[in-house]
A and B are shown apart, each in its own frame.
Chain A
Amino acid sequence: MLSSRKELDDRLRGAARAWLDEALAEAAHAAAHPGADSGSPPWELRFASAGRHCGLEHADSVRALLLVEARAGLPAVTRLYEQGTAAERRAVLLTLHRLDLGATALPLVEDALRTNDTRLVAAAVGPYGAAHLDAHGWRHAVLKCLFTGVPAEALDRLGERARGDAELARMLSDFAAERTAAGRPVPAGLRTVLDLTAPAPTPTPTEEPR
C-alpha cells in the first residue's frame, strides 16, 4: 500500500525528511522544465537510493511520489524501469496509473508479465494493467498469477473484468483439469476467480432504462 506525502511527512524525521523534501523539489523542478528530459535529471538518481534514505519500507511510496511530482513521461518511466532493480521496476509499475500516460506504457506491464518474479507480476496486474491490458493479455495475466502463486487479490478490478468472461472460465477450467489429471492440487484462488466469471444477472428494464 502506497503512503501519501502527508503520511510520509508524519513518519519521516530528520535527515530522511530533509532528503525527501529535496528530492521532491528536484522532481518538481524537472516537471516545470519538461524540455530538459533528454538525459537523466537529478531526481532519477534519487529514485535508486530512496530506500536507503527514507527506509526500505517507504521505498515504493517515495518512488511513486517522485514519479508523480516529476510528472514523469514515457521516456522517463521507460528509462527508470529498464535501468531499475526489481524493486525500482515494481515502484514504476505501481505508479503508472497515476501518470498521464494513456496506454503508452503497456509494454512495461507486458515485460513484467513475461518475468517469473512474483513481485513484478503482482505489480503488473494493478490498476494500470487492469485498465489497459486487452482481453487476451489480461486472461493470461490472471493465469500467470495462479501459476506463480500471486494472490488473486493483487488483480485490480478482478470482479469487473472477469464477469461473464466465458473464455477466461474455459482457460481456468482447462487449467484445473490439467492439474487434476496430473494428481497435483489446483491453486486455491482458482475457484474464487472461476466463480467471478459467472455472467451478471440479466438487468430488468427498470434498472437499465436506456
Chain B
Amino acid sequence: MRIFDPHIHMTSRTTDDYRAMYDAGVRALVEPSFWLGQPRTSPASFFDYFDALLGWEPFRASQYGIAHHCTLALNPKEANDPRCTPVLDALPRYLVKDSVVAVGEIGYDSMTPAEDTALAAQLQLAADHALPALVHTPHRDKLAGLHRTIDVIRESDLSPELVLLDHLNETTVTDALDSGCWAGFSIYPDTKMDEDRMITVLRNHGTDRILVNSAADWGKSDPLKTRKVADTMLKAGFDEDDVDKVLWRNPVAFYGQSGRLQLDTAAPGPLHEGNSILRGGE
C-alpha cells in the first residue's frame, strides 16, 4: 500500500514518526507552513522556518525514504499581526523553489479584514506562480467561514480545481465539492474527523477530488491516521483501488498541478552505521 499524506507538520515530529510512517506505507508527504503554537514576532522567524521546510526537513524525510514537499504562506492567524505581514512581500522569492507545490496554508481563522487581505493577496500569488493553493477552513464558525472562503476564491484569478479546501467535515463537504474545489479531511484522535466518520463521507460523496490527511503537528495528533483510514476503508468494503485513489492518486493529481512533484525519491543520502540525524555530530 502506498500512501501520500497531503498535510502533515513534520517539523514537530520525531524520526520515530518518520520510521513508523514509512513502515505504514507513507512514501510522500506535503508539509504546509503554519502556526507553530508560539506566535512569531518578526518576518525573519518565518524565513528561517521556510528555509527549514526547503532544506533540513526534506533531508530528514529522505533518510527514511519519504519524498517531502511543502506549501509556503503567511498563515491566517499570524496574518493578523502587523509585525508578520511583511512576509507577504518576501513570498515571491520562495514560491519559485523546486519543492514548493502550493501556496498554503491560507484561509480564515477569525475572519478579520487582515485575513481577507492576506487570503486575497496569496490567492493572487498562487495564480501568478501557476501554483495550487491549500486553504484552511476555520475551526470556529466553520460553515460561514467556508462560504466566505468560496466567495473569495470565486473572485480570484485562481480556478477552483487548483484549490484544496481542508479540514472539512460532514457540514461543509457538500458545499466544498459543489464549488469545484478539492476536499481535504484531517483525521484526528479526538477532534475534526475520525476514521469511521470518514468512511461515511466517502460512501455518501464518492472518492473523486477527496483527500485524507493526518494534519499531525505539535498537538494531540497521529501521523499514522492516513493508514488507519486506508485499513478502515478496506474493512468497510472499499477495494484496494479506492484506497490507492484516495490515499495516493488524488493527492498526486492535486499537487501535481504544480508541475513540481518529485516522487522518485533518491536513495537515502550517504550514511554510515548511524546517520547525521544523530545528535552530537561533533
Contact = CB atoms under 8 A, between A and B. Distances in A.
B93 interface: yes
A83 B100 CA distance: 14
Nearest to B279: A116
Contacts of B54: 85-86
Contact of A149 (B58, B96, B271): B271
A195 B222 CA distance: 49
Contacts of B276: 116-118, 121, 147-149
Contacts of B55: 85-86, 89, 117
A140 interface: yes
B56 A117 contact: yes
Contacts of B282: 140, 143-144, 147
B277 A119 contact: no
Interface of B is mostly: loop
A184 B278 CA distance: 14
Interface string A129-151: 00000000000100110011111
A48 interface: yes
B46 interface: no
A118 B270 contact: yes
A132 to B, nearest CB: 20
A56 B260 CA distance: 11
Interface residues of B, number: 24
Given A85-B54, A86-B54, A144-B282, A48 B97 contact: yes
A48 B55 CA distance: 13
A151 B98 CA distance: 27
Interface residues of A, number: 31
B174 interface: no
A92 to B, nearest CB: 13
B93 to A, nearest CB: 6
A83 B94 CA distance: 8
Nearest to B63: A118
B270 A122 contact: yes
B259 interface: yes
B281 A144 contact: yes
Interface of B: 54-56, 58-59, 93, 96-99, 259-260, 262, 269-277, 281-282
